Chain A
Amino acid sequence: MIKTMSSNLDERQEQALLKIEHNGCWLAFWGLLTALFVQNAAFNGDLDRIIGELIVFVVLSVYLGASCMREGVWDRRLRPDAKTNAAISCITGLVMGVGMFLRVHANYPDKPIGSIAAGVFTMLFTGTICFALLSISAKLYRKRVAELEADPGDEE
């Protein structure tokens, strides 16, 4: 017979542990993302060599996103509006574009135009995809919030 284990922690310790786990989660998230960028650059874009980290990162991201969506939570500070989504997409596109430019430029230093073109294309492509995903997520979020906030009496 399986004996259910009760918690050894009181509520303050539980909150302290949640805070520690929260910090650990974001440390793992950003650390993994940084490691992916560094490894991608070091291994010259060889996906086979970073597939493990990539899978963990994607699973973590999907879990965080899906859990937040289910609970009707977006972000502490950012709002799910087009302006904010556009700003985030621009920053993401810019980072990815600069990263791609540097990588291509390192491999083909004699082709600066090609490096710039690769950077610009990556920036536009990533920015557009990011904006589309954020817009879809924001729409789903608003729909979920409407469901959660609906007065149960309205359904009768």
Chain B
Amino acid sequence: MRNLRMKFRRIEVGMSQTQLAKAAGVTRQTIGLIEAGEFNPSLKLCLAICKALGVTLNDLFWEEDNDDQDHE
């Protein structure tokens, strides 16, 4: 499942994937794959991304059961 909340938040704070990658200590490709839902980051990386974007884990990574229905 794509992580659109992470992508929107990154755009909201005016960061590129490269800038976020640098702040979180990973490669740009890794950020791209997380946003595309093709790579599941560790808790450590989730925390680094949240800190870089100034949000909490819940804001980016918590999935409500009815999330899918909301998107539909």
Contact = CB atoms under 8 A, between A and B. Distances in A.
Contacts of A12: 26-27, 29-30, 33, 39, 41
A149 interface: no
B4 interface: no
Contacts of A10: 25-27, 30, 45
A11 B41 contact: yes
A11 B30 CA distance: 9
Contact of A13 (B27, B41, B42): B27
Interface string B23-58: 001110110010000010110110000000000000
Interface residues of B, number: 11
Contacts of A11: 26, 30, 41-42, 44-45
Contacts, number: 20
Interface residues of A, number: 4
A13 B25 CA distance: 12
Interface string B11-32: 0000000000000011101100
Nearest to A13: B27
Interface of A: 10-13
Interface of B: 25-27, 29-30, 33, 39, 41-42, 44-45
- Name the 4 nearest CB pairs between A and B, nearest first: A10-B26, A12-B30, A12-B39, A10-B30
